[in-house]
Amino acid sequence: MDMDAFSAVNADKWTRLHELAHKGKLSGPEADELLALYQATSAHLSLIRSVAPESGLSASLSATLAQARTRFTGARSNPMADLERFFVLALPAAFYRLAWLTLACGAAFLIIGAAYAIWIGSSPEALRAVASEAAAKQYVEEDFIDYYSENPAASFAGAVWTNNAWISAQAVALGITGVWVPIILFTNAQGVGVAAGIFAAAGKSDVFFSYILPHGLMELTAVFIACAAGLRIFWAMVSPGPRTRLRAVAEEGRSLVTVALGLVLVLFVSGLVEGFVTPSPLPVWAKIAIGAAVLACYWTYALVWGRRAYLAGERGDLRREDAGYTEIAA
């Protein structure tokens, strides 16, 4: 099919459909015309996609048809139904798809962090390369602990939430590069490992873990989830399978932006724990138990609800009609 000739013949119809789809109020004859043009253009789009499925013309007509459809079908769902679908189906399914990759990222983090902690904690030369004796002593006895209580709990929780959400968003958005996720994992593991090593050298590992575990269990898991999402987008580009590379990246990108939105809420809970529980006078066992309970709630949500949604066919993507893949046939 000659696309240029086909476009020249039907351009007026597509332009008219676009005008009617975006017009404020339609008369009776205009509504009939809109429906007829919608049906004809749907057929045109099917032909175009059989020849050039990822073309700019295909995307443009899909957007016009979506707008036209809303004129005679109205809203497809109410906001509450959309929220229900997001939290009951889309988000847990997206988390479930990342479960094993999340654990792999966590394992890499722990290996790197433990290596740094053991090296610095057992080597006086390595410790001196990181900090002087006075600086290490001040960090262990004052700076590390004061970090969690020097600001009001509410403002500290908000700052932590914002910072961690930004890190997670970067991991998802820039994961397609293939290098950003390893950088995030390595630098964060290095930072935690160095801190643990300094405390180990001072014989106060218990103090370190009593402060890092209550919020860190969920906070670090959230970082691993974001890194897993970024890697999935990267792998969709490297190995798209039977899909075109553009479509594979688009589908994974939409699904995993769902993860980024969900992580905003996950990190909000983690920020509350870090701001209000970690520096609190509660017994250490109680603080760690709270952090462990938050983590258990996440994995129950991801593995139980997520598996159920995944087996039902949910992948965390937009509905196919919202993504522009299907239209009502003529």
Closest CA to 327 of 41, 110, 34: 41
DSSP letter for each residue of 172-236:
HHSGGGSSHHHHHHHHHHHHHHHHHHHHHHTT-HHHHHHHHHHHHHHHHHHHHHHHHHHHHHHHH
With 0-12 CB in 10 A as exposed, 13-18 as middle and 19+ as buried, what is 126? middle
**Most confident by average pLDDT, 16-20, 47-51, 288-292, 324-328:** 288-292
Predicted confidence at residue 120, as pLDDT, reads 95
pLDDT top residue among 195 and 59: 195
If you average pLDDT over residues 80-100, what whole number do you get?
87
Which of these ranges, 9-23, 67-81, 133-147, 230-244, has the smallest mean pLDDT? 67-81
The SS3 call for residue 294 is helix
- Per-residue model confidence as pLDDT tens digits over 110-146: 999 999 999 999 999 999 999 999 999 999 998 888 8
**Is a pLDDT exceeding 90 seen at residue 108?**
yes
For the segment 195-213, what is each residue's pLDDT rounded down to a tens digit? 999 999 999 999 999 999 9
Contacts of 220 (CB under 8 A, 6+ apart): 106, 109, 188, 192
The average pLDDT across 298-324 equals 79
Residue 121 is predicted with a pLDDT of: 94
Regarding pTM above 0.85, the answer is: no
Spatial contact of 121 and 196, defined as CB atoms under 8 Å apart: yes
Q: Say whether pLDDT at 152 is over 80.
A: no
pLDDT of residue 62: 81
Tell me the C-alpha distance between 118 and 200, whole Å. 8
Residue 319: its pLDDT value, please? 54
Confidence grade of residue 220 (pLDDT, cut at 50, 70, 90): very high
**String of DSSP letters for 36-55:** HHHHHHHHHHHHHHHH-TT-
Phi/psi-derived region of residue 178, left when phi > 0, alpha when psi is between -120 and 50, beta in every other case: left
Question: CB–CB of 95/262 below 8 Å?
Answer: yes
Contact 189, 263 (CB under 8 A): no
Q: According to the model, what pLDDT value does residue 1 have? A: 61
What does pLDDT average to over the chain? 84
Q: How far is Cα 145 from Cα 278, in angstroms, rounded to an integer?
A: 10
The arithmetic mean of pLDDT across residues 147-155, rounded, is 75
pLDDT confidence bin for 327, thresholds 50/70/90: very low
Residue type, 42: S
Determine the pLDDT at residue 328: 40
Q: How far is CA 297 from CA 91, 121, 124, 157, 320, in A?
A: 14, 33, 41, 20, 30
DSSP state letter for 13: H
- Phi/psi at 282 (5° precision): -60, 155
Smallest Cα–Cα separation from 171: which of 230, 251, 220? 230
**Does residue 228 have a pLDDT over 50?**
yes
How far is residue 101's CA from residue 227's CA, in Å, rounded to a whole number? 9
Q: What's at 320, amino acid-wise?
A: R
Has residue 190 got a pLDDT over 60? Answer: yes
Say how far apart CA 202 and CA 98 lie, in whole Å: 38
pLDDT in tens, 242-263: 878 887 787 777 777 788 888 8
Q: Using the predicted structure, report yes or no on whether residue 323 has a pLDDT greater than 70.
A: no
Please tell me which residue, 222 or 170, carries the higher pLDDT value.
Answer: 222
Which residues make Cβ contacts (< 8 Å) with residue 301, sequence separation at least 6? Answer: 92, 95
